[in-house]
Amino acid sequence: MTRRIAVALPALAFAASCASLGSASWAQTYPAKPVRIVVPFAAGGPADIYARVVGQRLHEGLGQPFVVEDPPGAGSIIGTDIVAKSPADGYTLLMMSNTHTVNESLVPKKPFTLMKDFVGIAPINYSDLLMVVHPSLPVKTVKWLVAMAKAKPGGLNYASSGTGTPYHMAGELFKAMAGVDIVHVPHKGSAEARTSVVSGQVEMMTDAITTMAPIAKSGKVRAIATTGSKRSDVMAEVPTVAESGVKGYEATIWLGIMAPAGTPRPVVDRLNADHQGHRPSRAPQDVAGAGRRGDVDVCGRVRPLSQPGHREVGQGGEDFRRAPGSITVTW
């Protein structure tokens, strides 16, 4: 027995050493074929635009195509489950948002668990939201909106891109903190929700500021507040929800990249390093419209021809691997 153990231990050590060398070698040759980035939301939204920007930059840095797929449905669960069930080899990545952290408590019976079945690679960015109403609704401030909602409980409605999305949770947080009853009208994506508000079918919405600001400036909707801790450079004339009477209110949308749990650490580290390596030193810029032009960096930072809006997140891989778990506990 003792002799067997003595013989086995060096063998195990040698095997572990070979596995480590093999993993490191694999990382050096990764990627050897196209990589897909699954965006579990409708095409055309911020996650889809950023995925394409990130994919282009990773392609430039790593030499293989990063192909974006958009299988939406069930509040991101369908597309996310596709990634969870994919091989943990670095060739299937997930573009995730705070929808995923909310779903951990909102939808407990899912086929996956975020912090168990995925590993974080890198954060991308975060952005304030813009609260807007259709011009037919005679309100110009948050206080005015709250007064109307309290006078007509359940008489107003708001659109979102779906249950559990950041826009939905921003609306529910507002209802809870303002003490109002406004009916939620979920849609199949942010573009569809936006269309409902612009057409007047739904009365209000909270949307990504870089997407909604041009629509507000055109007069198709009326901006009444932003959702950050301070005013946004995109629409500095618009007050925050907090300064408009709902003290402490803050809601943002953020994006990041994850991979199936078990993805080799050297591969995760290489993706994170390439992501961080594409971060220029300029001040954060806006992504509105830039995703279509291709003038955005890997973190969604746009070259100087656009306006401020989205803000870059510069966490390292280790920090981001812990972040979704702590945010999940908050919800």
All structural domains of the chain: 33-126+254-330 (3.40.190.150), 128-252 (3.40.190.10)
Q: Residue 114: which pLDDT band, with cuts at 50, 70 and 90? A: confident
Report phi then psi at 98, rounded to 5: -65, -10
Over 60: is that where the pLDDT of 241 sits? yes
Picking from 125, 288, 292, 144, the residue whose alpha carbon sits closest to that of residue 216 is 288
Over 70: is that where the pLDDT of 178 sits? yes
Rounded CA Rg of the chain = 22
Cα–Cα distance list, 136 to 29, 33, 121, 132, 197 (Å):
58, 53, 45, 12, 11
**Which of 20-24, 48-52, 174-178, 272-276 holds the top average pLDDT?**
174-178
pTM: predicted TM-score of the whole model, two decimal places: 0.68
**Percentage of residues in the chain with pLDDT exceeding 70?**
75
Over 80: is that where the pLDDT of 153 sits? yes
Q: Which two tokens stand for residue 269?
A: 């580290």
Picking from 114, 127, 49, the residue whose alpha carbon sits closest to that of residue 76 is 114
Segment 301-314 shows an average pLDDT of 40
pLDDT tens per residue, range 95-106 = 998 888 887 877
pLDDT-wise least confident of 81-85, 283-287, 318-322, 325-329 = 283-287
Cα–Cα distance list, 12 to 4, 22, 62 (Å):
12, 15, 34
Residue type, 265: R
CB atoms within 10 A of CB 311: 22
- Contact status, residue 72 vs residue 40, Cβ threshold 8 Å: yes
**Residue-wise DSSP of 66-130:** EEEE----GGGHHHHHHHHTS-SSSSEEEEEEHHHHHHHHH--S-S--HHHHEEEEEEEEEEEEE
d(CA 15, CA 7): 13
Residue type, 211: T
Tokens 């943002």 belong to: 252
d(CA 67, CA 105): 30
Q: Residue 287: which pLDDT band, with cuts at 50, 70 and 90? A: very low
Dihedral of CA 324/325/330/331: which sign?
positive
Would you state the pLDDT for residue 99? 81
